Amino acid sequence: MHAGSYNSLLVLFSLLVAMLASYTALDMAGRIATAQGRAAHWWLAGGACAMGIGIWSMHFIAMLAFHLPIPLGYDLPITVASLLIAIASSALALWLVGRETLPWRRLAGGALLIGSGVAGMHYTGMAALRMVPGIYYIPSLFVLSVVIAVLASGTALWIAFNLRRESVWVRPLRAGASVVMGLAIAGMHYTGMAAAQFPIGAVCGAARDGMDTGWLAVVIIVVTLAVLAIALITSVLDVRLEARTSMLAISLAEANQELTYLALHDNLTKLPNRVLLEDRLEQAIQGATREKSRFALMFMDLDGFKAVNDAYGHPIGDQLLVAVARRIGANVHSQDTIARLGGDEFVLLASVSEPADAATLAEKVLSAMREPFQVAGRELRVSTSIGIAMYPGDGELQHDLLTNADAAMYHAKALGRNTICFFEASMNANVHEQLQLVQDMRMALERRELTLQYQPKLTAPNGPIVGVEALVRWMHPTRGLIAPDQFIPLAEKTGLIVPFGDWILDEACRQMRAWRDEGRPEWTMAVNLSALQFRHASLIATVRDTLARHALEPCCLTLEVTESTAMRDADASLQILQQLHDMGVRISIDDFGTGYSSLLYLKRLPASELKIDRGFIRDLSRDTEDAAIVSAIVALGRTLNLNIVAEGVETAKQQEFLTRLGCNSLQGFLLGRPMSAENLIESLSNDNLLSEPVEEGTIGSCYDAGYLTPHYD
Query: Of 75 and 591, which has the nearer Cβ to Ca ion?
Result: 591
Query: Of 27 and 591, which has the nearer Cβ to ligand C2E?
Result: 591
Residue 192, binding choice from ligand C2E, Ca ion, none, Cβ under 5 to 8 Å by partner class: none
Residue 488, binding choice from Ca ion, ligand C2E, none, Cβ under 5 to 8 Å by partner class: ligand C2E
Query: Of 174 and 473, which has the nearer Cβ to ligand C2E?
Result: 473
Residue 576, binding choice from Ca ion, ligand C2E, none, Cβ under 5 to 8 Å by partner class: none
Eight-class DSSP state of 265: B
- Shortest reach from residue 470's CB to Ca ion, in Å: 9
Using CB under 5 A as the binding criterion, the count of chain residues that bind Ca ion stands at 4
Eight-class DSSP state of 209: T
Is residue 276 within 8 Å of 265, Cβ to Cβ? yes
Is residue 453 within 8 Å of 473, Cβ to Cβ? yes
76-97 and 104-127 helices cross at what angle (nearest 10)? 170
Angle (CA) 322-324-329 rounded to 5° is 95
Residue 626, binding choice from ligand C2E, Ca ion, none, Cβ under 5 to 8 Å by partner class: none
Query: Of 331 and 691, which has the nearer Cβ to ligand C2E?
Result: 691
Q: Other CB atoms closer than 10 Å to residue 551's CB: what's the count? A: 9
- Shortest reach from residue 609's CB to Ca ion, in Å: 11
Candidate segments 305-313, 327-335, 554-562, 630-638, binder of Ca ion by CB under 5 A = 554-562
Q: What is the DSSP string of 388-442?
A: EEEETTS-SSHHHHHHHHHHHHHHHHHTTSS-EEE--HHHHHHHHHHHHHHHHHH
Query: Of 91 and 617, which has the nearer Cβ to ligand C2E?
Result: 617
Rounded Cα–Cα distance for residues 462 and 466 (Å) = 11
Query: Of 186 and 649, which has the nearer Cβ to Ca ion?
Result: 649
Q: Which of residues 40-79 bind Ca ion (CB under 5 A)?
A: none
Q: State phi, psi for 689 to the nearest 5 degrees.
A: -90, 120
- Shortest reach from residue 657's CB to ligand C2E, in Å: 14
- Shortest reach from residue 580's CB to ligand C2E, in Å: 15
End-to-end Cα distance, the chain: 145
- Shortest reach from residue 690's CB to ligand C2E, in Å: 11
Query: Of 146 and 658, which has the nearer Cβ to Ca ion?
Result: 658
Maximum Cα–Cα distance across the chain: 158
Decide the pairing of beta strands 524-529 and 465-476.
parallel
Q: Which of residues 116-135 bind Ca ion (CB under 5 A)?
A: none
- Shortest reach from residue 601's CB to ligand C2E, in Å: 21
Rounded Cα–Cα distance for residues 154 and 156 (Å) = 5
Rounded Cα–Cα distance for residues 105 and 375 (Å) = 69
How many residues appear in the chain?
713
- Shortest reach from residue 690's CB to Ca ion, in Å: 18
Chain-centre distance of CA 239, in angstroms? 37
- Shortest reach from residue 522's CB to ligand C2E, in Å: 22
Q: Which of residues 527-546 bind Ca ion (CB under 5 A)?
A: 528
- Shortest reach from residue 409's CB to ligand C2E, in Å: 23
Residue whose C-alpha is closest to residue 359's, from 333, 384, 387: 387
Q: What is the DSSP string of 26-57?
A: HHHHHHHHH--THHHHHHHHHHHHHHHHHHHH
Residue 304, binding choice from ligand C2E, Ca ion, none, Cβ under 5 to 8 Å by partner class: none
Residue 307, binding choice from Ca ion, ligand C2E, none, Cβ under 5 to 8 Å by partner class: none
What is the four-CA torsion angle of 266, 271, 275, 279, rounded to 10 degrees? 170
Query: Of 229 and 705, which has the nearer Cβ to ligand C2E?
Result: 705
Residue 235, binding choice from Ca ion, ligand C2E, none, Cβ under 5 to 8 Å by partner class: none
Query: Of 412 and 663, which has the nearer Cβ to Ca ion?
Result: 663
How far lies 484's CA from each of 178, 473, 573, 575, 708, in Å?
93, 6, 24, 28, 11
Residue whose C-alpha is closest to residue 706's, from 440, 415, 457, 455: 455
Residue 530, binding choice from Ca ion, ligand C2E, none, Cβ under 5 to 8 Å by partner class: ligand C2E
Residue 298, binding choice from ligand C2E, Ca ion, none, Cβ under 5 to 8 Å by partner class: none
- Shortest reach from residue 316's CB to ligand C2E, in Å: 26
Residue 502, binding choice from Ca ion, ligand C2E, none, Cβ under 5 to 8 Å by partner class: none
- Shortest reach from residue 674's CB to Ca ion, in Å: 11
Whether a cis peptide bond, with omega within 30° of 0, leads into 315 is no
Q: Does 560 bind Ca ion (CB under 5 A)?
A: yes
**By Cβ distance, which residue is nearest to Ca ion?**
560
Rounded Cα–Cα distance for residues 588 and 610 (Å) = 6
Rounded Cα–Cα distance for residues 501 and 542 (Å) = 10
Is residue 152 within 8 Å of 224, Cβ to Cβ? no
Read off the amino acid at residue 50: A
Rounded Cα–Cα distance for residues 239 and 93 (Å) = 21
Residue 703, binding choice from ligand C2E, Ca ion, none, Cβ under 5 to 8 Å by partner class: ligand C2E
Q: Does 609 bind Ca ion (CB under 5 A)?
A: no
- Shortest reach from residue 527's CB to Ca ion, in Å: 9
Residue 131, binding choice from ligand C2E, Ca ion, none, Cβ under 5 to 8 Å by partner class: none
- Shortest reach from residue 361's CB to Ca ion, in Å: 37
- Shortest reach from residue 326's CB to Ca ion, in Å: 36
Residue 406, binding choice from Ca ion, ligand C2E, none, Cβ under 5 to 8 Å by partner class: none
Under 8 Å CB-to-CB from 517, ≥6 apart: which residues? none
Helix, coil or strand: residue 474: strand
Residue 483, binding choice from Ca ion, ligand C2E, none, Cβ under 5 to 8 Å by partner class: ligand C2E
- Which positions lie near ligand C2E, rule CB under 6 A? 455, 470-472, 483-485, 488, 501, 504, 528-530, 560, 590-591, 614, 647-650, 668-669, 674, 699, 703
Query: Of 75 and 560, which has the nearer Cβ to Ca ion?
Result: 560
Helix, coil or strand: residue 523: coil
Q: Does 303 bind Ca ion (CB under 5 A)?
A: no
Query: Of 524 and 528, which has the nearer Cβ to Ca ion?
Result: 528
Query: Of 440 and 560, which has the nearer Cβ to ligand C2E?
Result: 560
Query: Of 26 and 645, which has the nearer Cβ to Ca ion?
Result: 645
The only residue of 27, 303, 591, 650 in contact with Ca ion, by rule CB under 5 A: 591
- Shortest reach from residue 486's CB to ligand C2E, in Å: 9
Residue 646, binding choice from Ca ion, ligand C2E, none, Cβ under 5 to 8 Å by partner class: none
Is residue 121 within 8 Å of 89, Cβ to Cβ? yes
Eight-class DSSP state of 354: S
Q: Which of residues 167-226 bind Ca ion (CB under 5 A)?
A: none
Helix, coil or strand: residue 212: coil
Tell me the chain's radius of gyration from C-alpha atoms: 48
Looking at the DSSP bridge assignments, the partners of residue 674 are none
Query: Of 502 and 590, which has the nearer Cβ to Ca ion?
Result: 590
Per-residue burial over 212-221, b = 16 or more CB atoms within 10 Å of its CB, e = otherwise: ebeebbeebb
Query: Of 90 and 528, which has the nearer Cβ to Ca ion?
Result: 528
Is residue 662 within 8 Å of 634, Cβ to Cβ? yes
- Shortest reach from residue 703's CB to ligand C2E, in Å: 4
Query: Of 216 and 472, which has the nearer Cβ to ligand C2E?
Result: 472
**What is the dihedral sign for C-alpha 51, 56, 61, 62?**
positive
Residue whose C-alpha is closest to residue 591's, from 619, 629, 560: 560
The only residue of 266, 303, 507, 590 in contact with Ca ion, by rule CB under 5 A: 590
Point out which residues bind Ca ion (CB under 5 A): 528, 560, 590-591
